[in-house]
Each structure stands twice: as C-alpha cells, then as structure tokens.
Structure 1
Amino acid sequence: MDELLGGHLRMLREAAATGRLPGRAELDDCRAAGALAAERGASVRALVEAALAMAESVRPTPLPALRRTVSALMEGYENAQRSALRQEEAARREFVDDLLQGRADRLAERAEHFGLRLAETYVVAVARPAGAATVVAPGNGGSEGSGFEGDGGLAGEAEGTARRIEDALVARFGSHNVLVAVRDGMLVCVAPGSLTVANGEFTHHVRQAFAPGWRVGLGRAHRGPGGVVTSYREGANAIELGDRLGLRAPVLKAADLLVFPVLLRDRAAIEDLVTSVLSPLLEARGGPEPLLATLEAIFASQGNQTAAARRLGVSTRAVTYRLERIRRLTGFSPDDSTQRFTLETAVLGARLLDWPAHPLR
C-alpha cells in the first residue's frame, strides 16, 4: 500500500510546506492509485486508513489537501469497481447467451467462473412478467415476443430484478448453485436438478417482483450444456402452451405438458381430428366457442356438471343443454369413455391450433 500512496504523501508534504492544494494532474495520480488498489483486491477501508495514517506523519496536517487526495483515491477506486462490474455483467450476458444457444466455445471453463458445473443435471425455470407477449425459445418455431425488451428503462429494470433475485438465491443456496439472467425478455434461472427447492424459491421472488398475471415455466432436468438448452426451451414452451390452451395455473411444468408437443408433432393428424370431430359445432347458434368452453369445463371438472356450471358461471341446466347439443351435432358424448377421450384430444388440438379463429385447411 505504501508504494501506491507515495504520491499522496508527497502532495501532503508539499501542501503543508507551501499551502498549495493539489492540482488536476496530482489528483489524477491519486485516482490512478485508487484504481490500482481496487485491481489488486485491497478494500476501500484499508486504502483510506493507510492514507489517513500517512497524513498523521505530516505536521501541520493540511486538511483541505487531505480531503481532496482521499476523495480522489476513493473516486479512482469506485470507478475501477464500476468498470469491473460492467465487464463482469457483459461477460455474464455473453455466457448466458452462449449457454442457452448451445454455443460450446470454452463453455465448461467459463461456467466454473460463474459457479456452474455443467457435468451435473440442471433445471431451467423461465419467468415472464404480466402482459408480455408470448416468447418462444429459439429453434422451436413460433414468434418471439418481448417481456422486457423494446424499452431501455424496462430492460434496466429487468437486469435489476435479476440481480436482486439472484442475490437472494445465492444468499440461501450459495454462488455455485444458481445463475439468474435476462434472456429473450424473460428471467431465466439455472439451478441443479437435485436442488428442487431452488425453483420454488425463484417462483416466490418472481411472485413478489411481478404484477399478477406472471407465468413461470419449468423445464425438465437434463444433463450437460445441451441439457441446459433443452430445459430452457421446455420452460419457455410451457409458458407458450399455457397461453394457447388458456391454462390458469401461473406455474407450468414441462413434464405435465408432454402430450401437447406429441400432438403438434403430427400437425396433419391433429388438424384432421379437429376438423372431423368439431367442425359441426360451427353450425351452432352463437358459434362454437360456448360449446368448446363447456367441454373444457367438463373435462377440468372430471365430468361433474355442477362444478362445470360454476366454472362457466351458468346454470347446470345450461350445461346439460349444451352437452346434448354437442352430442347431436358431433355424434360424440363426454359420457362415453372412448368418445370423451376423442373429444378432449380434439378440443386440446383446437386450442393449440387456435381454431376456429384460424380456420384449418
């Protein structure tokens, strides 16, 4: 520390002898000394205490000069700290982009710097704020939206939210267990698959940070860098599926929605099913939507018409009438186990394909 503060001591001695305050060049030297102290890992407290201790050997102590030199030392130290933080944040953003896009350039080595051991199994949780457009993970089709992007203030708010949530998770689970970042307009949390409680903690902080209407999508546990990419895409797609299906739950697990990608994998078959089973509903008075909503309520209520009526806000008699209307138009009844499965699959397919708003070929 003495070699860093040699110029500081000379300035104080000169000020004591002449009464002259340090000039711009001398204060710049102090700022450079403060920055070097920060780069070497010295604490700001140790820096200031060393500067004050040196001042005690100068008589009379030139307090105005001391005030300026110490202020310059601290300014240089703080500027170096801010610069290091900006560089760290830039490196973090680059690493997250590379990790979630599967770019493998020195990925494992860089991951260790941020506390991740990519040979393990990881789960990715994705959080989207209320009112944001649906975001589809790259490589899975669909249109990309933006939860935070498109406005500098919102983007800055997202980074601040990510830092606060990560600080809270690190305080509980340690720096080698979680990574929180902003990606594609959403908050992304990467945590070990064995640390299942981390997902619940992340969701808790999301609930506190976001207005009602937020969603969290949880990918499945996968191993290695490629597994992180897969889990991220699963989490993002779970949110998209929740929107398309009108699901009410704010937290959606990819493991609970595996049937839907299977349905979409053979689009021609699901389009044929929707057209064959549900197209007669287009002839219903008032359109097909009330009948589709009734079927969804019946399926969600395990066939209980009274519970379905409460969900819909109509009378039980209205539900009975609508189900009879569906049976007459389509030839299918949810009271029959085989026909119920066909109807439910067709209704799910209709929601996935946004039918009838988007007519099928």
Structure 2
Amino acid sequence: MLDRALELYRQGGHLPADVLASCTAVGVQLAERGGRITPLLHAWEVGCSTVIASFWDSAQPGEQNDLVALTQWMSATVKEITAAISLAYLHAQKQAGLDTSRRVLADLMLNGSANDELAAAARHTPVKEYAVVAVQVADEAVPSAATVARASAALTNNDLGLSCQVGRHLCVLAPIHGRQNPMERVTQVMDVVKKAGIPLAGPAGTVTAARSELGAAVQKAAEIERLAKVAGIGEDTVGSDQVISELAISRDDEYRRVLVSLITPLREAPELLKTLRTLYLMDLDRTKTARRLNVARRTLTYRLERIEQLTGINPVRTRGILAFVLAIAAYDLDQICLL
C-alpha cells in the first residue's frame, strides 16, 4: 500500500480510472446485497491514516517538506476515493430499485459516520442540531420502503430533513438552522408527512439532539412515543417533559413493582379500575365520569368508597390521585412488556 501510494503520487497525483474502479467495486457489491457502506468507509479512512503515520514515523532528516506535500496529496486523494465509493454505492442502490440516497444518508447519520462527500451527493448539508421524530405508521408493523420513500420525497420537497426506518418506527431527522424553534420544526414535519398520505398510529415522540448523538436520540424518541401511548396522550407530538413520570417508572423495576402493588386489590374488580381511569380522564368531574361510565352518581360514589376500602387510599385526595395515576401508568407499562 505504501509503494502504491508513492507510485501514484510520483505520477502526478491523478488517480487512474482502474484505481477508482477497484476502490468502488466493493461499495457497489455492498449496495447490491443491501449491506451498509459504513464499515468500508471506516476501514478506508483508518487504513489511509495508518499509511500517513508510517511515512512520518520512518522519515529521514530533510524529508519533512516532501512529507507535507505528500500528506496534503493523500488527504485530497482520500476524499476523492471516498466520494467515488459513496457515489457508486448510491448509484448501485438506485439501479437495484432500493431506497433513495437520502435514506442512505439518514442511515449513516444514525451511526454517526456520515461524511461530507456523501452528504453533498444526497443534497443535504449536515447541521449541528436536529429535531428527531419517531412515530409508528398505521396498519404497518414496520414502515415499508414505499412509506419511507414517500416521506423522504415530501420532506425533500419542503426542505425539512431526512426520513428512515428504525425498528418499528418511521423516523425523521429535521435539521435545525440558526435559532429555529425545534417544536415548530417538528410541527411542520408532522403536517408534511400527513399531507403525503401517510397514516400515523398515535403521537410522535420528539427529541432535540446534536448530530453526533443522533443514534441515541432516535432510540429515546421511540421510547417517548411508546410511553405516550401508554399514558393515553392524544397530542400529535410528545416531548420527554410530557412523560417524565412514565420515563422514571420504566427505568426503575422496583419502583414500578411497588406502584403496581397499590392497585393489586382492584384486579379482581375491573369495574373499579375502569372507574379510576375514567375519573382521572375526566379531570375528577364526577358528573362527566358517571355519564361516561353510564352509571348513577351515587353508584360512582359507592365505587370510590369501595376503592378506598380495598386499598386504603382515597382516590380523590391529592396524595391518592398522585399515587393512583402513577400506579395505573406502572400497571399499563407492565402489560405492554408482557405482550
């Protein structure tokens, strides 16, 4: 590799077509098999850095000037080959009928390894911060390639970012420029996705994150989406501040078990648990609660008294409300985990 690099450098620095072809061949093969290009780019960059380091390590006195010129040439050449690999990969994916270059870029960005050349090829300039959105698509256990492509096209036309599929979620990485409000950006994204005819199953989890933290941010946004469903939040978008209790419960198994134990006495009386849920859903309005349950007010009063008798907790006092709301959330999380 050292000898080949020197030979090319001495030939005037222009990469012959056969050299570029041999470099890009692996990228094309990966694309045709549906494999990722990330490991190849990592290996290429590490290998080239090793070559440069070995030159400097073995340099003799008086060779520094030549090494500076060689290092600059190597740096430019690495970018040229990386760009060639990236473009060949994207072209092969399109020829194979796979997804758009934007999905490829999104996929790489999730691994924190998108490079400037690939970003330029996909006509997206990476920014420092992104609004990350994770949402499930109605009637699709996993977002299909067609759904991701439709979202990508809609977002591209409106310059709102990139879409990709991560697990069961359709994810959008929306770049935040300057002092843009992240939530306003998210609202725009949701509107565009809906107008593209993509039916969404419930609210979207949202997180704001630096480009280097996108992988973790996507997972957190997906977790927020799941917890928002458990909490029964009906809004289009949900941030971490709206599911603080659920986040705490989901991350502490012992805390969750203690909370669930508070309503264990009610498991044999499902009408009482339903009464609690409805009461809190109706913001403690007993008239609306009784109407929703289709029972008389005195029946509702009897049920609330029975709940206190069985659990020792008053469901309409401040501490009781807090305890039961958290206990119901913990119970629902347990049920989700059992599915």
Bin the TM-score by the shorter chain.
Answer: 0.5 to 0.7
Structure 1 letter corresponding to 2:129: T
- C-alpha deviations, 1:156-181, integer Å up to 9, x for none? 4324422xxx4443333x3xx51123
Within-5 A mapping of 1:283-322? 287-322=268-303
Q: Which residue of 2 aligns with 1:210?
A: 198
Q: Would you say 1:347 and 2:328 are equivalent positions?
A: yes
- C-alpha deviations, 1:184-213, integer Å up to 9, x for none? 3432211134254332232223334134x6
From 105, 110, 117, the counterpart of 1:95: 105
Q: Would you say 1:186 and 2:169 are equivalent positions?
A: yes
Q: Secondary structure at the match of 1:272?
A: helix
**Coordinate RMSD, CA, aligned:** 3.2
CA distance in 2, matches of 1:93, 1:169: 12
Q: Which residue of 1 aligns with 2:146?
A: 157
CA distance in 1, matches of 2:326, 2:236: 23
Structure 2 letter corresponding to 1:294: T
The question of whether the paired residues in 1 share the 8 Å contact of 2:132 and 2:209 is answered with no
CA distance in 2, matches of 1:129, 1:310: 33
Q: Which residue of 2 aligns with 1:198?
A: 185
Bigger radius of gyration, 1 or 2? 1
Between the two proteins, the alignment pairs up a number of residues equal to 243
Q: Which residue of 1 aligns with 2:40?
A: none
Contiguous gaps of at least 5 residues in structure 2: 1-89
The question of whether the paired residues in 2 share the 8 Å contact of 1:207 and 1:214 is answered with no
- C-alpha deviations, 1:218-242, integer Å up to 9, x for none? 322122221x223322221122223
CA distance in 1, matches of 2:169, 2:256: 30
Within-5 A mapping of 1:38-117? 85-86=94-95, 89=99, 91-100=101-110, 103-107=111-115, 110-111=118-119, 113-114=121-122
The question of whether the paired residues in 2 share the 8 Å contact of 1:303 and 1:334 is answered with no
Structure 1 letter corresponding to 2:169: M
Structure 1 residues 185 and 327, CA gap change in structure 2 (3 angstroms):
closer
CA distance in 2, matches of 1:296, 1:161: 38
Structure 2 letter corresponding to 1:158: T
Give TM-score, length-normalised by structure 2.
0.61
Contiguous gaps of at least 5 residues in structure 1: 1-80, 133-145, 149-154
The question of whether the paired residues in 2 share the 8 Å contact of 1:214 and 1:250 is answered with no
Within-5 A mapping of 1:328-339? 328-339=309-320
Q: Which residue of 1 aligns with 2:157?
A: 171
Q: Which residue of 1 aligns with 2:258?
A: 272
Question: Comparing 188-197 with 122-131, which one deviates more in the overlay?
Answer: 188-197
Q: Which residue of 2 aligns with 1:122?
A: 130
Within-5 A mapping of 1:240-259? 240-259=226-245
Q: Which residue of 1 aligns with 2:222?
A: 236
Task: Report how far residue 329 of structure 1 moved.
Answer: 0.6
Structure 1 residues 330 and 337, CA gap change in structure 2 (3 angstroms):
same
From 142, 151, 154, the counterpart of 1:147: 142
Identity %: 21
Task: Report how far residue 116 of structure 1 moved.
Answer: 5.1
Task: Report how far residue 95 of structure 1 moved.
Answer: 3.2
CA distance in 2, matches of 1:224, 1:279: 44
Q: Secondary structure at the match of 1:220?
A: strand
- C-alpha deviations, 1:253-284, integer Å up to 9, x for none? 33311221211222112202321x112113xx
Structure 1 letter corresponding to 2:334: L
Task: Report how far residue 330 of structure 1 moved.
Answer: 0.5
Q: Secondary structure at the match of 1:353?
A: helix
Task: Report how far residue 106 of structure 1 moved.
Answer: 4.8
Structure 2 letter corresponding to 1:243: K
